[in-house]
């Protein structure tokens, strides 16, 4: 969310940013919110003047009441007339104030609702394009290999290891759910445990956050359209199931004033994640790429504004290092303007190689949100000079199985149907080096 002062002073920059994001329908909102801001500030000023008048009138009545004690009957009548006149003015002012305060509330609510949908200013380095088809490949890490044998669909590999039961999950929960079993379930947990320790070794503090959050935190951490498409609400309560632990991890700092010396805050968190995947393609098909429930290791950073781009670079490179340590080829894909969520300043995806599809697919998403989340959640930093400023927030997926398992199983599948375990995961698998098909 932008600062209303910035919009007031830079309307053309805000409009051009909207055009770059291919959201022209939002252009009239800039002029509307500026006009509402003018009217709101005028109402606030007028209300403040009326309150000052009331204070002056009430103060003026004090001496008049004092003089009444020694006044003659004629003087009392004159004093009372002045008192009544002042009281009448106060009453009239109060009626006007009541109307102004109502308008102030209406203006504030409308301004807030508009500010939530005006997109953040993107970084100049972001490629311009309407949608993900314009995303730009920046760099590849590892050689994408296509073996000389056929690679089955990922659930077939899991089924050969007695590692998944989607039929039972369908009976219990419906489409978009799964049971992971045996060695595949163990591999799933091994990946999460390894990712946790990987980030701890990078100096991040491990955290298990709340898995449900209040609506004001949801509003603070994500765009309105994402909220509608993703979040499950608990009926009858002001609680939502998190779609990623970033939501509750950034929410941890809501309404807080952080001492500058405590920055950067670097946290890595485990959580289950719950998503509607509203409108997602392929949710009905057999597979675990798009699902309603999964587990995830996340990394978040809260830092000084001048440090956020350096952290952005570090964070996506952590993802590359993690996947390469498991011998999975990946690439970095720079997200274009039209593919950025409204709060994001800059974002990139790390995509893993799929030998079966002979293409890359998303496994991590790294984002710099500037001060947007901090402004919404009222997260502030007290500098050494005592002045307050807004920090920047960033997030990135460390690993999100079972999607990540697709890349691991496909890239480590052998011609005989066995799956080799990357060396870094073997200690988390009790020393197991290979999974052998049971079917």
CA 8/CA 263 separation, integer angstroms: 31
Q: What angle do CA 158, 161, 165 make, to 5 degrees?
A: 55
Whether residue 280 has pLDDT greater than 60: no
Whether residue 184 has pLDDT greater than 80: yes
> Rounded to the nearest 5°, which phi and psi values hold at 272?
-75, 155
Answer for the pair 413, 314: CB distance below 8 angstroms, yes or no. Answer: no
CA 294/CA 169 separation, integer angstroms: 13
- Strands 257-259 and 380-382 turn out to be parallel
Domains of the chain, residue spans: 4-115, 132-435
Question: Taking Cα atoms as reference points, which of 163, 149, 145, 148 lies closest to residue 417?
Answer: 149
Residues 15-49: pLDDT tens digits?
A: 999 999 999 999 999 999 999 999 999 999 999 99
CATH of 132-435, one of 3.30.930.10, 3.40.50.620, 3.40.50.300, 2.40.50.140: 3.30.930.10
Q: Which of 53-57, 77-81, 168-172, 432-436 has the weakest average pLDDT?
A: 77-81
Residues 341-364: pLDDT tens digits?
A: 999 999 999 999 999 999 999 999
Q: Which two tokens stand for residue 52?
A: 């000052």
**Which pTM does this prediction carry?**
0.89
Give the percent of the chain with pLDDT over 70.
Answer: 97
Answer for the pair 271, 212: CB distance below 8 angstroms, yes or no. Answer: no
Preceding peptide of 264 cis, ω within 30°: yes
CA 250/CA 305 separation, integer angstroms: 16
User: Which CATH number describes the domain made up of 4-115?
Assistant: 1.10.287
What is the rounded average pLDDT of the residues 43-57?
Answer: 89
Q: Tell me the H-state helices in 213-331.
A: 215-221, 224-230, 245-251, 308-325
CA 222/CA 29 separation, integer angstroms: 19
CA dihedral 400, 405, 411, 415 (to 10 degrees): 180
CA 296/CA 208 separation, integer angstroms: 11
Q: Which two tokens stand for residue 436?
A: 């052998």
Residues 206-231: pLDDT tens digits?
A: 999 999 999 999 999 987 667 777 88
Whether residue 283 has pLDDT greater than 50: no
Whether residue 278 has pLDDT greater than 60: no
Residues 305-339: pLDDT tens digits?
A: 999 999 999 999 999 999 999 999 999 999 999 99
């Amino acid at each position: 969310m932008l600062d209303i002062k910035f919009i007031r002073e830079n309307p053309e920059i805000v409009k051009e940013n909207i055009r770059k994001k291919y959201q022209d329908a939002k252009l009239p909102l800039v002029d509307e919110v500026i006009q509402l801001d003018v009217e709101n500030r005028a109402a606030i000023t007028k209300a403040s003047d009326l309150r000052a008048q009331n204070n002056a009138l009430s103060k003026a009545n004090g001496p008049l009441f004092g003089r009444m004690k020694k006044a003659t009957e004629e003087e009392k009548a004159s004093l009372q007339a002045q008192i009544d006149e002042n009281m009448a003015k106060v009453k009239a002012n109060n009626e006007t104030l009541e109307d102004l305060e109502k308008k102030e509330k209406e203006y504030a609510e409308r301004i807030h609702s508009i500010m939530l949908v005006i997109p953040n200013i993107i970084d100049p380095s972001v490629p311009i394009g309407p949608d993900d088809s314009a995303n730009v490949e920046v760099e590849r890490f590892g050689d994408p290999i296509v073996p000389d044998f056929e690679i089955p669909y990922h659930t077939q590999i899991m089924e050969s290891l007695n590692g998944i039961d989607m039929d039972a999950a369908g009976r219990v929960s419906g489409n978009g759910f799964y049971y992971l079993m045996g060695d595949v379930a163990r591999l799933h947990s091994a990946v999460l445990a390894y990712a946790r320790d990987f980030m701890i070794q990078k100096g991040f503090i491990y955290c298990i956050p709340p898995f449900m959050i209040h609506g004001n935190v949801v509003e603070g951490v994500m765009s309105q359209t994402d909220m509608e498409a993703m979040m499950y609400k608990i009926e009858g309560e002001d609680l939502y199931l998190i779609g990623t632990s970033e939501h509750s991890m950034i929410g941890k700092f809501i309404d807080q004033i952080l001492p500058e010396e405590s920055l950067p805050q670097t946290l890595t968190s485990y959580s289950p994640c719950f998503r509607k995947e509203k409108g997602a393609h392929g949710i009905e098909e057999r597979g675990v790429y798009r699902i309603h429930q999964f587990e995830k290791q996340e990394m978040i950073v809260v830092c000084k504004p001048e440090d956020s781009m350096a952290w952005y670079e570090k964070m996506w490179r952590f993802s590359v290092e993690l996947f390469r340590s498991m011998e999975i080829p990946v690439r970095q894909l720079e997200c274009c303007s039209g593919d950025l969520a409204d709060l994001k300043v800059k974002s990139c995806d790390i995509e893993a190689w799929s030998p079966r599809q002979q293409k890359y697919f998303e496994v991590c998403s790294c984002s710099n949100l500037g001060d947007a989340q901090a402004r919404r959640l009222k997260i502030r930093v007290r500098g050494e000079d005592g002045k307050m400023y807004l920090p920047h927030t960033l997030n990135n997926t460390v690993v999100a199985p079972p999607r990540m398992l697709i890349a691991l199983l496909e890239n480590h599948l052998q011609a005989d149907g066995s799956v080799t375990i990357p060396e870094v995961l073997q200690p988390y698998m009790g020393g197991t080096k290979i999974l052998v098909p049971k079917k």
